[in-house]
């Protein structure tokens, strides 16, 4: 969710008291208690297991990795293609001086097929948390092949490796942008959901459909705070724009509990009602200044691919209870013709690998009929 653009500084807005997003009590903005994993619940699930986290240096992956430090897992495999992110994660871990579990920092790309195959063969992970993805929505409208290659092909290859290497559970980080998608990011996430839903065979497969993670890299919160620290007032795309939000710790807790939910292949955590972006801006100003009175934003309009309001489910989806009260199972996603879906997926992968624009929109719309391509995306492929 990048809903900010640069704007000139505003009179009356001095430099704020620096506030780290990590120190903010997000329960006050969300107006609900934050979700935490009940004490002891994770011990039995992860005891003596080898856990692989892809995208471990990112916003969700790093918080999730931190939650396992000092826990009952035997080995923690932290994988990221960004060396700076991975190095920073390693530096923070070393400051913790925790000896359990054993930690391996793995610098590779999920698209590196030989490297990933060697990793699975060497470490034989029991549980995979797949958080690696390209997620910057506006930019991906003009770079759809990169998004589809990482988010679709990368997920597919990981899942195939998990199938042959004895992985017990594969947890995929999905997004509410997968519902009635209007962006390449959204349609790539929806196809990844459908891939995990096609076959009931081992390993167990789960996609967790999350809203916006507060404070994640490239999102509204860090950009807003940076602009304030620089003495500038940010611009907001639309005063009516709203999103569903979770805190970083909640995202990690929901991912951990998605295994205990004993349901799948698609899950939805309890995130409360949607919140308007302008409300988040006011909250951050109050955190920094003690008041939101100085905010006079310039509204710039939604960018291509962005929605005014996100949705959590399709009309045909049904919410059912799981064994974890705060996580619901999303039913109604059965693919009746798995062979036909597999054929379309093969066609899509071929187009992506060859960077062939002709037929790309038609193939995506055949796989996700609800997908509405943006003018930027249509301009790119034509």
237 belongs to a structural domain:
yes
* pLDDT, the chain, mean: 89
137 belongs to a structural domain:
yes
pLDDT digits (tens, 9 = 90+) for 283-311: 888 887 766 666 667 788 899 999 999 99
361 belongs to a structural domain:
no
Q: How many domains does the chain have?
A: 1
pLDDT surpasses 90 at 376: yes
Quick one: pLDDT at residue 132? Answer: 97
Residue tagged 């003495």 (tokens): 231
- In this predicted model, which residue has the larger pLDDT, 20 or 281? 281
Q: Yes or no: say if 214 and 275 are a contact pair by the CB < 8 Å rule.
A: no
364 belongs to a structural domain:
no
pLDDT surpasses 70 at 22: no
Quick one: pLDDT at residue 274? Answer: 96
pLDDT surpasses 80 at 241: yes
Find residue 327's DSSP bridge partners. Answer: 269
25 belongs to a structural domain:
yes
pLDDT surpasses 90 at 257: yes
pLDDT mean over 347-355: 98
Quick one: pLDDT at residue 33? Answer: 92
Task: Please list the active-site residues.
Answer: 177
C-alpha closest to that of 222 among 73, 72, 21, 54: 21
Beta pairing class for 102-107 and 75-80: parallel
Residue 23 sits in a domain whose CATH number is: 3.40.50.720
354 belongs to a structural domain:
no
379 belongs to a structural domain:
no
pLDDT digits (tens, 9 = 90+) for 110-169: 999 999 999 999 999 999 999 999 999 999 999 999 999 999 999 999 999 999 999 999
353 belongs to a structural domain:
no
Q: Domain range spanning residue 38?
A: 4-337
Strands (E), the chain: 4-5, 50-54, 75-80, 102-107, 127-130, 169-175, 204-210, 212-213, 235-236, 242-243, 245-246, 266-269, 275-276, 318-321, 327-331
């Amino acid at each position: 969710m990048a809903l900010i653009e640069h704007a000139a500084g505003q009179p009356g807005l001095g430099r704020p008291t620096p506030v780290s997003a990590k120190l903010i009590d997000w329960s006050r903005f969300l107006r609900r208690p934050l979700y935490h994993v009940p004490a002891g619940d994770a011990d039995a699930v992860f005891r003596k297991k080898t856990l692989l986290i892809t995208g471990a240096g990112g916003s969700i992956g790093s918080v999730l990795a931190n939650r396992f430090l000092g826990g009952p897992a035997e080995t923690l495999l932290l994988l990221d293609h960004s060396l700076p992110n991975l190095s920073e994660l390693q530096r923070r871990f070393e400051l913790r001086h925790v000896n359990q579990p054993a930690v391996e920092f793995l610098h590779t790309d999920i698209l590196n097929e030989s490297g990933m195959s060697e990793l699975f063969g060497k470490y034989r992970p029991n549980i995979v948390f797949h958080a690696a993805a390209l997620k910057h929505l506006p930019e991906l409208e003009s770079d759809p092949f990169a998004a589809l290659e990482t988010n679709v092909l990368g997920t597919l290859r990981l899942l195939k490796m998990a199938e042959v290497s004895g992985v017990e559970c594969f947890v995929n980080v999905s997004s509410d942008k997968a519902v009635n998608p209007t962006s390449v990011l959204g349609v790539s996430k929806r196809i990844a959901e459908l891939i995990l839903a096609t076959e009931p065979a081992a390993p167990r497969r789960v996609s967790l459909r999350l809203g916006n993670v507060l404070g994640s890299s490239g999102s509204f919160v860090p950009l807003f705070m940076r602009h304030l620290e620089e003495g500038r007032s940010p611009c907001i795309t639309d005063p009516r724009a709203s999103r569903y939000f979770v805190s970083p710790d909640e995202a990690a807790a929901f991912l951990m509990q998605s295994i205990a939910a004993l349901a799948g292949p698609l899950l939805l955590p309890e995130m409360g009602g949607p919140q308007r972006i302008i409300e988040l801006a006011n909250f951050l100003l109050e955190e920094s200044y003690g008041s939101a009175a100085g905010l006079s934003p310039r509204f710039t309009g939604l960018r291509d691919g962005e929605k005014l309001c996100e949705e959590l489910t399709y009309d045909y989806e049904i919410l059912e209870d799981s064994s974890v009260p705060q996580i619901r199972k999303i039913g109604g996603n059965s693919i009746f013709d798995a062979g036909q879906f597999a054929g379309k997926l093969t066609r899509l992968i071929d187009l992506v690998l060859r960077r062939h624009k002709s037929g790309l929109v038609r193939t995506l719309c055949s796989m996700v009929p609800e997908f509405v391509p943006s003018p930027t995306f249509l301009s790119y492929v034509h």
